[in-house]
């Protein structure tokens, strides 16, 4: 072979490789500029910025306009996660508790669309808000490829500012904040991402007029906040709330009270609370590790949404009971054993939960004056160990019965579809404490069943038994069908009626059946908890 023919062969081979690479990518226009994502096995566009980096002078400001570009931007790699400290309850594979991760330049989102989706497809859209107590987590932890491809929907996952960076309310910041109220920056980020979706998702095959906002734990509470926020009106048409803590004990914190509390936090950073320049120059690691003063109930999120602001004029309970929310169909659910994941909260040193620790935890949860009443409802001898008594108390008081309160309030104005996920041996890579009989359907356990892909540090969908795979198929299909139709009714499943407060009917998903139950409120002692009134 002469040199000329050899060069020609190399050129042909290179061209074929280039063509193959191009065949595996897809380019989509956005309002910021074109983006290039992966085309197989589903269309994935990762790390798309939806706002400017919230760094320097943009720290503790509303999200600013996103950057623009002209040349196609490669978005095949996830963006930075937002700054956070690894905590034991939300493990990160390969990382140790206390380790600091992330970068402030983190306001990005990820789009998953079925293979071949185009601007003409107009598929329904689900926007996913991750959990993590408003201090941990990332949109990129959730692989939505199966959910999108299998069900013919477009799924968007997103990052939002966490911890003090996302929720610091402070008098010195009030003067420059929208409406004179600082804080809730993470919720503003979510609204900026939803606005991006409204403007751009059509190019990815989604229908901007059929958007479901969904989330779990702090993400579920975020969905409740977006329902209650006048500024989110028109950004979504349906909502899914999983384990949302929306009216749980201690979560209705007024902005003015948080701002006053945080004066001492600012001083602990080494800044005068009025010195905004000093605060904006503080090292991220110090912001994340400086103690927030004041003891709070253990169910409360130290950094979390605050109320009495233009973004959230009312507490969630007031907004829902008064009908002052964005009225869209809602699907809402909890897990049967939510509290088992939180047993380490009652015993941080890892030792078995003692009676003294159990009693103290009840006081922290509901306040000392009510603690005795709670302990009488959950005597440890009935459960075998103080750990299981604590976990059951936590499940009922923080998740199950507040969900009944939310369902009852919302159902006066919109269709509500309520469910409970109950796999007694839900898949997990989390080790169960020795003084529990197992984790059961622990907090976050349902997510791997909904997404049908592994959730790092939590569970692996590859570990499903045949019965669990069938449960996952049914559970995931119910979510997807709600996204597509506003009703979670799936062929072959038991009929799913809208929530009726008179019956407190809940669709229960187990490995052996899917059926309606009207004993959910009784099973979780909700008459007791709702009368206790510890919002």
Catalytic positions, written as ranges: 217, 338, 443
Give phi and psi for 390, each to the nearest 5.
Answer: -60, -45
Q: What is the DSSP letter of 50?
A: S
Which residue reads 């490669």 in tokens?
A: 74
**Terminus-to-terminus CA distance in the chain, angstroms?**
82
Q: Which candidate, 166, 171, 5, 150, places its Cα nearest to that of 477? A: 150
CA dihedral angle for residue 222, residue 61, residue 282, residue 193, rounded to 10 degrees = 40
Helix 355-366 to helix 368-377 angle (10° resolution) is: 120
User: Which H or E run contains 362?
Assistant: helix 355-366
Question: What CA–CA distances, in Å, run from 359 to 106, 271, 389?
Answer: 41, 38, 10
| DSSP letters spanning 397-411 | IIIIHHHHHHHHHHT
Cα–Cα distance for residue pair 34/27, rounded to 1 Å: 7
Q: What is the DSSP letter of 90?
A: B
528: Cβ–Cβ under 8 A, 6 or more apart, which residues? 377
Q: Which candidate, 247, 420, 236, places its Cα nearest to that of 326? A: 236
Angle at 253 between CA 215 and CA 393, to 5 degrees: 65
380: Cβ–Cβ under 8 A, 6 or more apart, which residues? 355, 358, 386, 388, 389
| Rg of the Cα atoms in the chain | 24
Q: Is the dihedral of CA 407, 244, 490, 516 positive or negative?
A: negative
User: Which H or E run contains 49?
Assistant: strand 43-49
Helix 386-394 to helix 355-366 angle (10° resolution) is: 10
Angle at 110 between CA 208 and CA 399, to 5 degrees: 85
SS3 call for 456: coil
Q: Which candidate, 240, 231, 218, places its Cα nearest to that of 162? A: 218
Which residue reads 């206790």 in tokens?
A: 532
């Amino acid at each position: 072979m002469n040199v000329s023919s050899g060069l020609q062969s190399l050129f042909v081979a290179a061209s074929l490789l280039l063509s193959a690479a191009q065949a595996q990518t897809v380019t989509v226009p956005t309002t910021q500029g074109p983006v290039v994502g992966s085309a197989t096995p589903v269309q994935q566009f990762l790390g798309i910025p939806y706002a400017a980096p919230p760094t320097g002078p943009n720290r503790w400001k509303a999200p600013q306009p996103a950057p623009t570009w002209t040349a196609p931007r490669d978005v095949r790699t996830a963006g930075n996660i937002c700054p956070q400290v690894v905590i034991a309850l939300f493990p990160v594979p390969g990382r140790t508790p206390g380790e600091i991760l992330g970068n402030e330049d983190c306001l990005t989102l990820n789009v998953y669309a079925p293979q071949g989706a185009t601007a003409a497809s107009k598929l329904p859209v689900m926007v996913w808000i991750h959990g993590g107590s408003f201090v941990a987590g990332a949109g990129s932890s959730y692989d939505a490829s199966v959910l999108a491809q299998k069900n013919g929907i477009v799924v968007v996952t997103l990052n939002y500012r966490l911890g003090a960076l996302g929720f610091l309310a402070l008098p010195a910041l009030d003067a420059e904040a929208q409406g004179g109220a600082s804080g809730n920056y993470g919720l503003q980020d979510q609204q900026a991402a939803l606005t991006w979706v409204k403007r751009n998702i059509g190019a990815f095959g989604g229908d901007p007029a059929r958007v479901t906002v969904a989330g779990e734990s702090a993400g579920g509470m975020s969905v409740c906040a977006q329902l209650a926020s006048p500024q989110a009106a028109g950004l979504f048409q349906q909502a899914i709330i999983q384990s949302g803590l929306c009216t749980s004990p201690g979560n209705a914190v007024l902005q003015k009270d948080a701002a006053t509390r945080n004066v001492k936090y600012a001083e602990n950073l080494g800044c005068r609370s009025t010195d905004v320049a000093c605060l904006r120059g503080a090292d991220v690691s110090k912001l994340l590790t400086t103690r927030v003063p004041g003891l709070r109930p253990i169910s409360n999120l130290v950094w979390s949404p605050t109320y009495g602001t233009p973004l959230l004029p009312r507490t969630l309970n007031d907004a829902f009971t008064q009908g002052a929310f964005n009225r869209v169909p809602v699907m809402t659910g909890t897990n049967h054993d939510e509290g088992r994941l939180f047993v380490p909260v009652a015993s941080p040193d890892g030792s078995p939960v003692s009676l003294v620790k159990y009693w103290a935890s009840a006081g922290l949860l509901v306040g000392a004056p009510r603690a005795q009443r709670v302990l009488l409802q959950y005597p440890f001898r009935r459960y075998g160990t103080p750990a299981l008594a604590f976990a059951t108390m936590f499940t009922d008081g923080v998740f199950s019965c507040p969900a009944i309160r939310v369902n009852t309030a919302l159902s006066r104005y919109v269709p509500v579809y309520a469910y409970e996920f109950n796999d007694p041996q839900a898949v997990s890579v989390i080790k169960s404490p020795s003084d529990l009989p197992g984790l059961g359907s622990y907090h976050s356990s349902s997510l791997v069943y909904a997404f049908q892909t592994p959730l790092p540090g939590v569970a692996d969908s590859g570990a499903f038994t045949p019965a669990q795979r069938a449960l996952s198929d049914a559970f995931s299909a119910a979510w997807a069908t709600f996204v597509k139709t506003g009703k979670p009714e799936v062929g072959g499943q038991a009929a799913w009626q809208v929530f009726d407060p008179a019956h407190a009917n809940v669709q229960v998903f187990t490995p052996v059946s899917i059926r309606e139950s009207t004993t959910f409120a009784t099973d979780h002692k909700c008459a007791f908890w709702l009368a206790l009134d510890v919002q």
